């Protein structure tokens, strides 16, 4: 039976590491600052932003909450982002998604200066990842890479299968696995015989949003299984994209839902904010990679 890859415990360790970096920054007179932008009053988004702001406070970082009303315009939000881009005490900018559908979400995100793009979602950040340059990476894939590292698995030469191809998770995690020299297969809603592809995987990352789509008997013995999905069942339970109990029978390591990838995302946002403060406004060079 596979070991549980405990995202809560790993996230605590990441937070402790970030706390030490905050102390080192304080010695240089720098307090990392995260600006959060929450448009309207969606209750779930309010909870997410609240946990990010609390995370900052717990580590001695500043957060600056901005709460434009639901009827704010795209140009007002772009102007707010530009004002935050210019502020020296703001090192990271987080625009909580989704924005109300009256707004041009892409225009708002793309207005974020790449050096402050702690969610890693601008074209500049994604392009830097694609071309093997250093830069701020999206938080959920960063968290997944940290979880895989915790297993001790050497990714070089392994076959990693990513199910889902969103800009938020699937595409960036595939590129990050590639950076670590895995052979990566990307699957999506049009993939033929998904079961056969997943059966060849040493590492499976499921980021689909369909309850238990990845069946336990698709998992190769000894695989590392990372379940990003968050799905609510009819009886109100949270389940992932992987059939957990059956998959655990075969896997070497598997993330639970909840308590796997989820807690890592906020921890990596805090890590990115510290990294942005360390690097400053001129360079986006955080980490680099090989392409050979
Ligand atoms: P998305 O809806 O943008 O993308 C889903 C992807 O799944 C698409 O690329 C699609 O091609 C693929 N897909 C759909 N049906 C499929 C099928 N039958 N077979 C194979 N592939 C199929 O989703 P997303 O934003 O990447 O999120 C995926 C899931 O991860 C959601 O449940 C989301 O809530 C969760 N999520 C969790 C975190 C976290 O911090 N834990 C962060 C982001 C997303």
DSSP states of 257-279 as a string?
A: SSSSHHHHHHHHHHHHHHHHHHH
> Which atom of ligand 1 approaches the CA of 208 most closely?
7
User: Which of 119, 189, 263 has the most ligand 1 atoms within 8 A of CB, as the residue to mutate?
Assistant: 189
β strands within 44-169, DSSP E = 62-66, 92-95, 159-163
Query: Does residue 286's CB lie within 6 angstroms of at least one atom of ligand 1?
Result: no
Q: Whose CA is nearest to atom 4 of ligand 1?
A: 166
Euclidean distance between CA atoms 30 and 25, whole angstroms: 5
Residue 107: C-alpha distances to residues 102, 126, 138, 169, 281 (Å): 12, 15, 18, 20, 21
Distance CA 34, CA 84 (A): 10
pLDDT (0 to 100) of residue 280 = 84
CA angle 250, 258, 266 (to 5 degrees): 120
Q: Check pocket membership of 255 for ligand 1, CB cut-off 6 A.
A: no
Ligand 1 near 133 CB (within 6 A): no
Asked if 266 and 51 count as a contact pair (C-beta separation under 8 A), the reply is yes
- Which pLDDT score, from 0 to 100, does residue 289 have? 59
126 is catalytic: no
Q: Which residues touch 69 (CB under 8 Å, ≥6 apart)?
A: 39, 40
Which residues are registered as beta bridge partners of 143? Answer: none
Q: Please say if 217 is a catalytic residue.
A: no
Report the distance separating Cα 227 and Cα 13, nearest Å: 20
Burial of residue 75 (CB within 10 Å: 0-12, 13-18, 19+) is: exposed
Cα separation of the two ends of the chain:
37
The CA 206 to ligand 1 mean position distance, Å, reads 8
How far does the centroid of ligand 1 lie from the alpha carbon of residue 191, in Å? 14
Active site residue 119: yes
Residue 169 Cα to ligand 1 middle (Å): 8
Phi/psi of residue 245, nearest 5 degrees:
-60, -45
Phi-psi region of 229 (alpha: psi -120 to 50; beta: other; left: phi over 0): beta
**CATH for 29-113, options being 3.20.20.140, 3.40.50.10330, 3.40.50.10860, 2.40.440.10:** 3.40.50.10860
DSSP 21-59: HHHHHHHTT---EEEEE--S--HHHHHHHHHHHHHHHHT
The C-alpha torsion from 198 through 202 and 206 to 211, rounded to 10°, is 60
95 bridge partner residues: 37
Contact 241, 210 (CB under 8 A): yes
Strand 238-239 relative to strand 231-232, pairing: antiparallel
pLDDT values of the chain reduced to their tens digit, one per residue, 292 residues: 999 999 999 999 999 999 999 999 999 999 999 999 999 989 999 999 999 999 999 999 999 999 999 999 999 999 999 999 999 999 999 999 999 999 999 999 999 999 999 999 999 999 999 999 999 999 999 999 999 999 999 999 999 999 999 999 999 999 999 999 999 999 999 999 999 999 999 999 999 999 999 999 999 999 999 999 999 999 999 999 999 999 999 999 999 999 999 999 999 999 999 999 999 875 444 555 566 6
Asked whether this chain's domains 29-113 and 139-262 adopt the same fold, the reply is yes
Q: Which residue in the list 6, 41, 42, 52 is annotated as catalytic?
A: 52
Q: Which atom of ligand 1 is nearest to the CA of 231?
A: 32
Q: Which CATH code of 3.90.550.10, 3.40.50.720, 1.10.490.10, 2.40.10.10 fits the domain covering 139-262?
A: 3.40.50.720
User: Do residues 162 and 185 touch, judged by C-beta distance below 8 A?
Assistant: yes
Model's pTM, two decimal places? 0.96
Q: Indicate the domain borders of the chain.
A: 29-113, 139-262
Residue 128 tokens read as 């830097």
Concatenated DSSP letters for 86-155?
Answer: H-TT--EEEE-SSPPTTS-HHHHHHTS-GGG-TT--SHHHHHHHHTT------HHHHHHHHHHHHTT---
């Amino acid at each position: 039976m596979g070991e549980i890859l405990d995202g809560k415990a790993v996230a605590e360790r990441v937070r402790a590491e970030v706390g030490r970096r905050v102390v080192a920054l304080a010695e240089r007179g720098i307090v990392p600052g995260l600006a959060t932008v929450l448009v309207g009053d969606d209750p779930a988004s309010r909870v997410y932003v609240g946990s990010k702001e609390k995370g900052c406070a717990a580590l001695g970082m500043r957060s600056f909450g901005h709460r434009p009303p639901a009827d704010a315009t795209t140009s007002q939000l772009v102007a707010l982002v530009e004002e935050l881009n210019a502020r020296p005490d703001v090192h990271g900018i987080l625009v909580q998604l989704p924005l109300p559908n009256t707004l041009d979400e892409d225009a708002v995100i793309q207005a974020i200066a790449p050096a402050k793009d702690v969610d890693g979602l601008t074209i500049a950040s994604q392009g830097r990842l694609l071309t093997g340059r250093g830069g701020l990476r999206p938080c959920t894939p960063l968290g997944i890479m940290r979880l895989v590292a915790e297993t001790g698995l050497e990714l070089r030469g392994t076959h990693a299968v990513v199910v889902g191809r969103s800009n938020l998770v699937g595409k960036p995690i595939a590129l990050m696995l590639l950076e670590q020299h895995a052979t990566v297969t990307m699957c999506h809603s049009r993939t033929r015989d998904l079961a056969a592809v997943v059966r060849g995987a040493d590492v499976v990352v499921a980021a689909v949003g369909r309850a238990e789509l990845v069946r336990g008997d698709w998992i190769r013995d000894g695989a590392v299984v990372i379940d990003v999905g968050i799905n609510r069942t009819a009886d109100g339970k949270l389940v992932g994209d992987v059939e957990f109990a059956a998959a655990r029978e075969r896997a070497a390591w598997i993330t639970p839902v909840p308590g796997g990838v989820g807690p890592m995302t906020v921890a990596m946002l805090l890590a990115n904010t510290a990294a942005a403060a360390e690097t400053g406004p001129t360079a986006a060079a955080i980490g680099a990679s090989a392409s050979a």
